A and B are shown apart, each in its own frame.
Chain A
Amino acid sequence: MAGARGLALKRPSAIPGFGLALGFTLTYLSLIVLIPLAALVLKAATLGFSGFWEVVTGPRTLAALRLSFFTSLYAAAVNAFFGVIIAWVLVRYRFPGRRLFDAFVDLPFALPTAVAGIALTALYAPNGWIGSLLAPLGIKVAYTPNGILIALIFIGLPFVVRTVQPVLEEFDRELEEASATLGANRRQTVFHVILPSLLPAILTGFALALARAVGEYGSVIFIAGNIPMVSEIAPLLIVIRLEEFGYAQAAAIGTAMLMISFGILLFVHLVQAYARRRFGQ
């Protein structure tokens, strides 16, 4: 960004349409996004601080928030691990069907969440393709918190792969050659040279998957079982409060979730700022 602009709102330019484009953008942004989100916070504020705190730390809400956050955390961790392997395999190796698998990585972005939800439930139900294999082992997935984990892994996977993939593609091979020339074996090169420089991308992908998973609703509610205090996620609790006409309570839970999301985004921002300084990406 160019620095000193003086006191003027914008730099002089020969291109027309600034006022119209910016005016329309700001109006639309305010009407669709900013004012409605402000209404959410405003509604939550009608409870007062102690009321807000009471709702958010009530046992059922706290259980739901905890379940949403920690299951999302586990799912994002699984995705970070397998996502890096998938990105690695897609970028570095050639094998039959590679292009097809590469294209399918985006499936969770394209497939409606409700469809994913019922499909995963059908697979992992006790009589489903996978569920019937796990049942004799005593592992229950559908209608338990395990099911939530499966759904969140499904929707979060592309975030890690698609964040790591481009960085790996751009990775300077000469660094690996230099490392090998200097006597490092392949494992040392991978773990001490390549992975550290992928770390910001991995963390970003992890955090994006986490942020998405915390708010996820459609793919989870079918497979979760939705038992209060056990397998009831925070977005579902919002819906339940809303159906009971507990508008302020719903808004309070929503505001708490927004704060969690923004915390995660702030983390992404800091990671990327660090990566720019450290690796110049």
Chain B
Amino acid sequence: MSDAAVAPLLVTKPRGLAVTTERGPVRIVLIAVGVIFLALFLLLPLAAVFVEAFRAGLSAYYASITEPDAVAAIKLTLLVAAIAVPTNLIFGLAASWAIAKFDFRGKSLLNSLIDLPFSVSPVISGLIYVLLFGLQGYLGPWLQSQNIQIIFALPGLVLATIFVTFPFVARELVPLMQEQGTQDEEAALSLGASGWQTFFRVTLPNIRWALLYGVVLCNARAMGEFGAVSVVSGHIRGKTNTMPLHVEILYNEYNFAAAFAVASLLALLALVTLVIKVALEWRYADQIAASRRH
């Protein structure tokens, strides 16, 4: 990894032998194609968010993110993430403990079921809860008789968010804990530590960076989720609108500057997420599970 620091500002430094790399012009063309594609498809949209956000001026920007509906949306987004992320964190710890530390029947099935939410469309992730808890859903009439509202209210938003962020923590922890094995825990137990002591003093320190990595990714998705929460939210302004939904409403009202102003906050969250992610990958590469794909 350190070779980047000493690499001169040249595109011609081959890493291997001359026969195992391409000729200079080919290299330059490939680098150009890759860089232009990334700039065009990734950097330009990001830049557009900030340019559009400040188009109407700084005071308009400030007004857009401090008006009551925007503040309510920001608070709701934080609240939903504050419930959904810790819940999935606890689940991730339990699932990875069971899968990584024990050998049992149906383990690989369980492992693939955990990834299931990633292959479900966000809209379906919201739809399933409407079918269960909506007014015409399976439990709708009973919930109404008990005066409990789930759909078009906070519980529905939280459930949909938990569903779409379900695998994040577990999928970071399972491979790492499988790699680490059980020797450390067995040593602690044989020296007289209790189960919980072993967990908190041995296992948790071993996995803390991978845990943080998973939580950061989980949080980014939780705060930014659109499709699933859109289906269960009901779009009640100032009440059940999270930030991405607030962006949609402003945008559909042709209030572009305000829409992009709120969107820029979410883009900022994405940038912070990327910075933390890269920092963790650099510093603690060996303590984060090898699998980096999502």
- Point out residues on A near B: beta carbons under 8 Å: 1-2, 5, 9-11, 13-18, 20-22, 24-26, 28-29, 32-37, 39-40, 42-43, 82, 85-86, 88-90, 92-99, 101, 103-116, 118-120, 122-123, 128-130, 150, 153-154, 157-159, 162-163, 166, 173, 176-177, 180-181, 186, 189-190, 208, 211, 214-218, 222, 235-236, 238-239, 242, 245, 247, 250-251, 254, 257-258, 261-262, 264-265
Query: Which residues 189-231 of B sit at the A interface, judged by CB distance below 8 A?
Result: 189-190, 195, 198-199, 217, 220, 223-227, 230-231
Beyond the given A15-B182, A39-B128, please list 16 additional residue pairs across the A-B interface where CB-CB is below 8 A: A14-B189, A14-B190, A17-B101, A36-B129, A82-B34, A82-B37, A85-B37, A98-B4, A104-B43, A110-B271, A112-B269, A114-B226, A114-B266, A119-B263, A215-B120, A217-B122
A119 touching B122 in the complex, CB below 8 Å, given contacts A22-B98, A89-B31: no
Q: In the complex the two chains form, what is the Cα distance from A211 to B101 in whole Å?
A: 31
Q: Are A22 and B104 in contact (CB under 8 A)?
A: yes
User: B148 to chain A: which residues have CB within 8 Å?
Assistant: none
The answer to whether A251 and B127 have CB atoms under 8 Å apart is: yes
CB distance from B102 to the nearest CB of A (A): 5
CA distance A33 to B118 in the complex (A): 11
Q: Is the CB of B132 within 8 A of A107?
A: no
User: Is B294 within 8 A of A216, CB to CB?
Assistant: no
Nearest opposing residue in chain B for A118, CB measure: B251
Is B13 in contact with A37, judged by CB distance below 8 angstroms? no
Interface string of B34-50 (1 = CB under 8 A from A): 11011011111110110
B22 contacts the other chain (Cβ, under 8 Å)?
Answer: yes
Give Cα distance in the complex from A93 to B23, angstroms.
Answer: 12
Looking at the assembled complex, report how far the CB atom of A86 sits from the nearest CB atom of chain B, in whole angstroms: 4
B94 within 8 A of A: yes
Say whether B163 faces chain A, with CB atoms less than 8 Å apart: yes
Tier of interface size on chain B: 35 or more
Verify if B82 is at the interface (C-beta below 8 Å from A).
no
Q: Which of B7, B44, B223, B274 contacts A130 (CB 8 A)?
A: B44
Chain A residue at smallest Cβ distance from B40: A130
Given A238-B127, A239-B231, decide whether A262 and B42 contact each other with a Cβ distance below 8 A. Answer: no
Given contacts A15-B185, A250-B127, contact A24 B226 (CB under 8 A): no
Q: Which residue of B lies closest to A97 (CB)?
A: B35
13 A–B pairs (Cβ distance < 8 Å), ordered by A: A14-B189, A14-B190, A25-B98, A33-B166, A82-B33, A89-B34, A94-B15, A104-B274, A110-B274, A114-B245, A130-B44, A177-B17, A216-B122
Judge whether B101 and A13 touch: CB under 8 Å: yes
CA distance A211 to B44 in the complex (A): 25
Q: How far is the CB of A40 from chain B (nearest CB, A)?
A: 5
B128 adjacent to A118 (CB under 8 Å)? no
Which of B127, B186, B199, B266 touches A111 (beta carbons < 8 Å)? B266
CB distance from A104 to the nearest CB of B (A): 5
Secondary structure type dominating chain A contacts: helix
- The answer to the question of B3 belonging to the interface, with a C-beta cut-off of 8 Å to chain A, is yes
- Closest Cβ of chain B: how far from A16's Cβ, in Å? 4
CA distance A214 to B43 in the complex (A): 24
Across the two chains, which residue of chain A brings its CB closest to B264? A115
- Nearest residue, chain B, Cβ from A20: B94
**Contact flag A93-B128 (CB < 8 Å), given A25-B95, A114-B263, A129-B44:** no
Chain B residues whose CB sits within 8 angstroms of the CB of A98 once the complex forms: 4
Q: Which B residues lie at the A interface, using CB under 8 A? A: 3-4, 7, 9-11, 13, 15-17, 19-23, 27, 30-31, 33-35, 37-38, 40-46, 48-49, 52, 90-91, 94-95, 97-98, 101-105, 107-108, 110, 113-114, 116-117, 119-124, 127-132, 134, 136-138, 159, 162-163, 166, 182, 185-186, 189-190, 195, 198-199, 217, 220, 223-227, 230-231, 243-245, 247-248, 251, 256, 259-260, 263, 266-267, 269-271, 273-275, 277-278, 290, 292-294
Q: Is there an interface contact between A110 and B270, defined as CB atoms closer than 8 Å?
A: yes
User: Does the CB pair A247–B131 fall under 8 Å?
Assistant: yes
Given the complex, which residues of B lie within 8 Å of A94, measured CB to CB?
A: 3-4, 7, 10-11, 13, 15
Is the beta-carbon distance between A107 and B274 smaller than 8 angstroms?
yes
Q: Which residues of B contact A42 (CB under 8 A)?
A: 138
Q: Are A17 and B16 in contact (CB under 8 A)?
A: no
Q: With A9-B104, A36-B163, A93-B27 in contact, is A153–B4 under 8 Å at CB? A: no
Which residue on chain A has the smallest CB distance to residue B278? Answer: A103
A217 and B123 within 8 A (CB): yes
Instruction: Given the known inter-chain contacts A24-B91, A93-B30, A119-B45, please indicate yes or no for A114 contacting B248, CB distance below 8 A.
Output: yes
B113 touches A33 (CB 8 A): yes
Chain A residues, CB < 8 A from B226: 112-114, 217-218
**Chain B residues in 8 Å Cβ range of A15:** 101-102, 182, 185-186, 189
Residue of A nearest to B259 (CB): A118
A113 to B123, CA, bound (A): 13
Chain B residues whose C-beta falls within 8 Å of the C-beta of A20 in the assembled complex: 94
Q: Which of A111, A157, A163 has the largest count of B CB atoms less than 10 A from its CB?
A: A111
* B267 adjacent to A111 (CB under 8 Å): yes
Q: Flag if A257 contacts B35 (CB, 8 Å).
A: no
Question: How far, in angstroms, from A150 to B37 measured CA to CA in the complex?
Answer: 12
Cβ-closest chain B residue relative to A174: B20
Bound complex: CA of A107 vs CA of B259, how far in Å? 20
